[in-house]
Amino acid sequence: MSEIRTAEVPLLVLRMVPESAEFISEKYGMPADQAVLTAALMQRCFDLVERLMESPDESLRGAVYLRFSSSS
């Protein structure tokens, strides 16, 4: 499995969920590609992935693993 570097995560969020760009831009008062670089938003993304990976539901863990392992 190839590793995803921390620096790649913010733009990966926008690539994976492009419809979130307008909301992110409005919420943080800056262009989405800059807002995703803020520590608060990055931490929320990491927290979400961590919670999904800790889920007892194998389908959630498998989906996260599959998506991240095939995204490179």
Q: What is the pTM of this model?
A: 0.57
Alpha-carbon distance of 16 to 71, in angstroms, equals 10
pLDDT of residue 65: 63
Residues 19-54 have pLDDT tens digits of: 989 998 999 999 998 888 888 877 887 788 888 888
- DSSP assigned state of 63: H
Confidence of residue 72 (pLDDT cuts 50, 70, 90): very low
Alpha-carbon distance of 28 to 13, in angstroms, equals 15
pLDDT of residue 31: 93
Report helix angle 39-53 to 58-70, nearest 10: 130
Q: Can you give the residue ranges of every domain in the chain?
A: 6-70
Low-confidence winner among 11-15, 62-66, 67-71 (lowest mean pLDDT): 67-71
Q: Are 65 and 49 within 8 A, CB to CB?
A: no
